[in-house]
Amino acid sequence: MGRKRLQESADGRPTVHTVAARAGVSIASASRVLNGVGGSPETIRKVREAAAEVGYVPNAIARSLQSQRTGLVALAVEDIGNPVYVEMMRAIESVVAASGRQLLVHATGGRIDNETALLRRLAHRYVDGMIVSPIRVTDDHLAALVDSPVPVVVVGQLPADAPVDNVRTDSRTGVGLAVDHLVAAGRRRIGFVNGPLDTVPGAARDAGFRAALAGHGLALDERLVEIGDFRYAAGRAAAERLLARAEPDALVCANDLIAVGALHALLAAGRRVPDDVALVGMDDTELAQMTFPQLSSVSLGSAERGRRAAELLLQRIADPALPPRREQVAPSLAVRASSAATPLFLPAPAEPAPAPRTPEVTA
C-alpha cells in the first residue's frame, strides 16, 4: 500500500528512492551524490541532508548485483582451532585488507561435503574469491575447484595438472629436516606421530619420514610409528600408545598440536624432554613457543603461504584470464629446547635438572 508512496524497502528501511524523494531529486542524482561522483553543491547538500534524516544505509546486496563484486574474500579451512590456520589467516587478512576488502573465514570441520558445498553455494557470488586449504582432495572436490564461479586459490598439495592457482610447501622434505636434525644429535630410535594417511599432508609426511630414515641408513621400526588425527587429544593418545610399546629416543610429530599432545604424554610418563626423548613438531606455530620446554618445530611457512595465496588471489580477481600459477615455499627448522643437543652420555642428575638450553636457532 504505502510502499510505493513512501518509497521504502520491504522491511521499512529507507532506500535511495526515499532519499531522492525527500531531497526532491531523481534517484540517479541521489545515487551519484551518495557515491561522491558529480552533483551540484545544492544537490549535494539536499541529498546528504535527506540521507542523514532518514538514516539511509545502502543495500550492499543490490549494489553487488549491479557492480558484480562484493568486496569480500573467503578463507575455508578445516579446523580453526589449529593455530597454523590462525597464522595463515592473519597473513591473508593483512593482504586482503590492504586491497580494501574484508576477509571471512569458514571452518569446514573437515567434512568434505561441507567444503564442496561451500564452493558450490557460498562462493556463488557472495565473495569475490576464496582461498581453500583442503586436507583431503577428491575428484569431486577437484571438479568443484576447477569450475568454481569465483577465483579460487588452493593452499596445499594438488595434482600436478590441476589448472588451479596453488601455493604449496614441501612437507616431505620438512620431515626430513627434523629427522636429519635428530640423527645429527645422536638419536637413533626416532618415532613418528602422524595424522591420517588418507589426508594429503598425512601421506606426504609419512613418505617423508620413511625416506629420511632410509637416507640415513636407519631401519624403520613400525612400532615407532603411530597415527591419530591432527589435533591435540588424538596426538596425545597416539603418543601414549606408542610409548606403551616402544622406547623412542626422539619423536617427530606431524604438527604442533600433536607435538603438544606428545609432550604431555611424555611428561606424564615420566620421560624428560629432551634428555630422554627429543621432540620436534611441525608448522612452527606460536603454540611451539608456549610449551615448556619450548618446542622445536619445522616451519612450513604458513604465514608466507597465506601471504602468497592472497596475492595470487587478488591478481586473479583483477585478471581472471591469467594462466594458473603454482608457488612453493621451502620448509625450515626452528630448533628449540625440546630437541636441543644434550649430552646423552652424561649421567642423569639425581634431582631432575632443568634442561640445558640453547637459544632458539632458526635454520
Partner DNA sequence: CAGACTCCCGGAAACGTTTACAGCAGAGCA
Partner DNA sequence: TGCTCTGCTGTAAACGTTTCCGGGAGTCTG
Based on CB atoms, which residue is closest to DNA, 18 or 342? 18
Cα–Cα distance measured from residue 82 to residue 133, given in angstroms and rounded to the nearest whole number:
13
- DSSP class of residue 222? G
Helix, strand, coil % in the chain, rounded to nearest 5: 45, 15, 40
Q: In angstroms, what is the minimal distance from the CB of 104 to DNA?
A: 21
Residue 145 · residue 154 · CB < 8 Å: yes
Touching DNA, residues 68-127 (CB under 7 A): 68
Based on CB atoms, which residue is closest to DNA, 58 or 324? 58
User: To which residue does cell 599432508 refer?
Assistant: 201
Based on CB atoms, which residue is closest to DNA, 40 or 358? 40
57 binds its own copies (CB under 8 A): yes
Choose the contact partner of 121 out of its own copies, DNA, none; CB within 5 to 8 A by kind.
Answer: its own copies
Choose the contact partner of 15 out of DNA, its own copies, none; CB within 5 to 8 A by kind.
Answer: DNA
Touching its own copies, residues 308-347 (CB under 8 A): 320
- State how far the alpha carbon of 133 is from the alpha carbons of 58, 79, 80, 311, 341, in Å: 34, 10, 11, 15, 35
290 binds its own copies (CB under 8 A): yes
- Count of beta carbons in the 10 Å neighbourhood of residue 115: 26
39 binds DNA (CB under 7 A): yes
**Residue ranges of the alpha helices (H) in 68-199?**
83-98, 112-117, 139-146, 171-184
159, 163, 215, 349: which one binds its own copies (CB under 8 A): 349
Cα–Cα distance measured from residue 261 to residue 239, given in angstroms and rounded to the nearest whole number:
7
64 binds its own copies (CB under 8 A): yes
Q: In angstroms, what is the minimal distance from the CB of 230 to its own copies?
A: 14
Pairing verdict, β 129-132 and 225-227: unpaired
Choose the contact partner of 290 out of its own copies, DNA, none; CB within 5 to 8 A by kind.
Answer: its own copies
19, 23, 74, 145: which one binds its own copies (CB under 8 A): 74
8, 180, 327, 360: which one binds its own copies (CB under 8 A): 360
**Residue ranges of the alpha helices (H) in the chain?**
2-6, 16-23, 27-34, 41-54, 60-67, 83-98, 112-117, 139-146, 171-184, 200-215, 232-245, 256-268, 302-318
Q: Give the sheet arrangement for strand 332-335, strand by strand.
A: 225-227, 190-194, 250-253, 278-282, 296-299, 332-335, 361-362
34, 88, 144, 153: which one binds DNA (CB under 7 A): 34
Cα-Cα-Cα-Cα torsion 337, 197, 207, 296, nearest 10 degrees, comes to -10
* Residue 200 C-alpha from the chain's centroid: 15
Choose the contact partner of 32 out of its own copies, DNA, none; CB within 5 to 8 A by kind.
Answer: DNA
Q: Which positions from 92 to 131 touch its own copies by CB under 8 A, shown as an x/- string? A: -x--------xxxxxx-x--------x-xxx-xxx-----
Cα–Cα distance measured from residue 260 to residue 253, given in angstroms and rounded to the nearest whole number:
9
Residue 134 · residue 78 · CB < 8 Å: yes
Based on CB atoms, which residue is closest to its own copies, 42 or 147? 147
315 binds DNA (CB under 7 A): no
**Residue ranges of the alpha helices (H) in 249-342?**
256-268, 302-318
Site size for its own copies (CB under 8 A):
64
Backbone angles phi, psi at 250, to 5 degrees: -160, 155
28, 233, 268, 361: which one binds DNA (CB under 7 A): 28
Choose the contact partner of 42 out of DNA, its own copies, none; CB within 5 to 8 A by kind.
Answer: DNA
Q: By the criterion CB under 7 A, which residues form the site for DNA?
A: 3, 9-11, 13, 15-17, 24-29, 31-32, 34-35, 37-40, 42-43, 56, 58-59, 62-63, 65-68
Contact positions vs its own copies (CB under 8 A): 10-11, 13, 55, 57-62, 64-65, 68, 70, 72, 74, 80-81, 83, 86, 89-90, 93, 102-107, 109, 118, 120-122, 124-126, 147, 149, 232, 260-261, 263-264, 267-268, 270, 286, 289-292, 294, 320, 349-351, 353-355, 357, 359-360, 362
